[in-house]
Chains A and B, each alone.
Chain A
Amino acid sequence: MKLTIKSMGIIVVGAFVVGIAGAAVLGFWKTTSSKQPVAIKEGEFAGLPNPSDIRGSYTWADVAKAFNFDVKLALDAFGATSETEKVNTLETIYGEAGLPEGVEIGTDSVRLFVSLLTGLPHTPEEGTILPSSAIAVLRENGKAETSLIEAAAAKAYDPAAAASPAPASPAAASPALKSESPASASPASPAPTPAPAALSSTTTIATTTTVKAESAAVEHVATPGTITGKTTFKELKDWGLDEEKIKTATGGKIGPDSSVIKDWAAANGLTFSELKVKLQELFPAP
């Protein structure tokens, strides 16, 4: 059988037309996401939407609908004007606001906000903070433990404070990052909002952080035996866990040594906050 240029042209175009039409008929041809976060797989919140799966392409309305709250709360929290705006616009808005190096208000801030608002678990990335307007909303409506909301409040960004002259005191080196409680110096990153089983271990989960007065930059130091959003599999091994033990927590699989556990979990459809609790339990309590 010989194929000419003409017949190849027909085959290629035909294959695409038939293939795409067939996929559409079978319901496989989807060019947009469903705007519905995946469900939490295990634990008390199994079956509920996972805040960690909120994507930057979601609009405020999508987020409010998925987590069943009034969209006005989210708009007020982040100073957004339209519910059809995508949440990833925060990165542009607050990127231009002159936040200190090492902190960010973006999509992960929305995940953290939703987590604190609904009480569902989510572990924020290092450097994720909320605007002070979000704290006001959370203090009034948040279902998470007060201590978690206050931990986030301690690091909240206040545009008004940012606009005022920098105070001389090193303790308030970053005018935008409030230091409302003594605990704010350590841990400096917003406390994770783990599943209730792990709430008591919140303090052991946070990464040791220091706020440098000179630069207002946030420096992260891994503490042996303390799992954070930046811990790698290699660090687990360095801290004394062997592969078999790690696999008991991960469900029989393990990522490459250099993999950040949080990224690996996301790539493998696992909920980091749940995995972290399981891994943390492998270490003896301090």
Chain B
Amino acid sequence: MRVKNLKLKKGAGNIRHIVQAAFFVIVAITTTASILNEKGLAIPFILDASLHAVCPFGGVVSFWQLLNFGTLVKKVHESSVVLAVLGLLLALLFGPVICGWVCPFGTFQEWMGKLGRKLFGKKYNNFVPRRLDKALRYLRYLVLIWVSYMTIISGKLIFQDYDPYFTLFNFWTGEVAITGYIALALVIVLSLFVERPFCKYACPYGAVQGIFNLFRIFGIRRNAPSCISCKKCDKACPMNIEVSTSKVVRDHQCISCLECTSDAACPVSATVEMLALPGSVKDNFVKPAVKNADKE
């Protein structure tokens, strides 16, 4: 029997949610401690770091200035550069795992999405017409170009005033621009209809990470001969990628969450897997013993 026990698979899927929650809590605690520290209310035994210090995107937009002049964009610290390099190495190997496993704002949107899923059931995450959705997903590259250009010419973190992620962790500090509040409110509302709307349409860091999907070393591969075309992988994908029609997932929006794999949604073992892509997987898999896994 090649169809796995679904309870075990659910347990495996929970590992990602635990990791996500842990990163969310760590970022929330350190940034809150930093803000309180600035107000003279230091919390003992807690490392304090501003959100800019623990956001890899600050490091990414600082690269140009760092390479040319050896300085960082205002408010960005060395830790951001460390995280940016770490994020790029991980992306080169595994794709945007930062988005799928680490980013607290992605996690927040997923939590909001659970509410949306309860409200709209199967309709959830399927509201936007496919063609429009596909076109809108390139918006984040325009955002990336705009943010990078403006940061380079101004030497300031231009995106802060529009960043819903910054707003989420700083909404009570008085440092947030009205545009930031609007962006966060928009993301919260959209998250009730679309999974990870900010990641899909606007996140400049997601755009940087997404490019690595085109040449990452480990990728999602579907073994067509063993696939039973149940499309559970498609339904599980938060980014609406059609895994069931792909041989190898090279979609620029994949976040490496592994929700589509045989470890999670796919009911047939060794059918959708994260593998080292260059040449290590053969296509002549043995057909699965059970063709209709939905009956299990």
Interface residues of A (CB under 8 A from B): 1-6, 8-9, 11-13, 15-16, 19-20, 23, 28-33, 38, 55, 57, 84, 86, 92, 255-256, 258-259, 263-264, 266-269
Q: How far is the CA of A3 from the CA of B15 in the complex (A)?
A: 14
* A3-B94, A8-B101, A15-B89 given; 10 more Cβ-contact pairs under 8 Å: A8-B256, A16-B86, A28-B82, A256-B149, A258-B153, A263-B153, A263-B154, A263-B155, A267-B153, A267-B155
Instruction: Say which size band chain B's interface belongs to.
Output: 35 or more
Contact of B15 among A9, A20, A32 (CB under 8 A): A9
**CB-CB < 8 A to B94: which residues of A?**
3, 8, 11
Cβ contact within 8 Å between A269 and B65 = yes
Are B54's CB and A5's CB within 8 A? no
Q: With a CB–CB cut-off of 8 A, which chain B residues contact A30? A: 77-79
Does B276 have its Cβ within 8 Å of any Cβ on chain A?
A: yes
CB < 8 Å neighbour of A32 from B18, B19, B77:
B77
Contacts known (A268-B155, A269-B69); A19 close to B86, Cβ less than 8 A = yes
- Expressed in whole angstroms, the Cα–Cα distance for A15 and B83 within the complex equals 10
B 60-79 contacts with A by CB, 8 A = 65, 68-71, 73-75, 77-79
15 sampled A-B residue pairs with Cβ under 8 A: A3-B275, A4-B263, A5-B12, A6-B15, A15-B86, A23-B78, A28-B81, A29-B78, A30-B79, A31-B53, A32-B50, A32-B53, A55-B74, A264-B153, A267-B156
Task: Give B contacts to A, CB under 8 Å.
Answer: 12-13, 15-16, 18-19, 22, 38, 40, 47-50, 53-54, 65, 68-71, 73-75, 77-79, 81-83, 86, 89-90, 94, 97, 101-102, 149, 151-156, 174, 218, 256, 258, 261, 263-264, 273-276, 280
Q: How many Å from the CB of B162 to the closest CB on chain A?
A: 18
Instruction: Tell whether A28 pairs with B78 under 8 Å between CB atoms, given A5-B13, A268-B68.
Output: yes
B16 touches A9 (CB 8 A): yes
In Å, the complex CA distance between A264 and B154 comes to 6
| Distance in angstroms between the alpha carbons of A52 and B195 in the assembled complex | 45
Residues of B within 8 A of A6 (CB): 12, 15, 263
What residues of chain A lie closer than 8 Å to B155, measured between beta carbons? 263, 266-268
Is A12 in contact with B90, judged by CB distance below 8 angstroms?
A: yes
- CB within 8 A of B65: which of A1, A11, A84, A268? A268
Whether the Cβ atoms of A269 and B275 lie closer than 8 Å is no
Distance A258 CA – B256 CA, assembled complex (angstroms): 39
Residue with the greatest number of chain B CB neighbours at <10 A, chosen from A1, A55, A259: A1
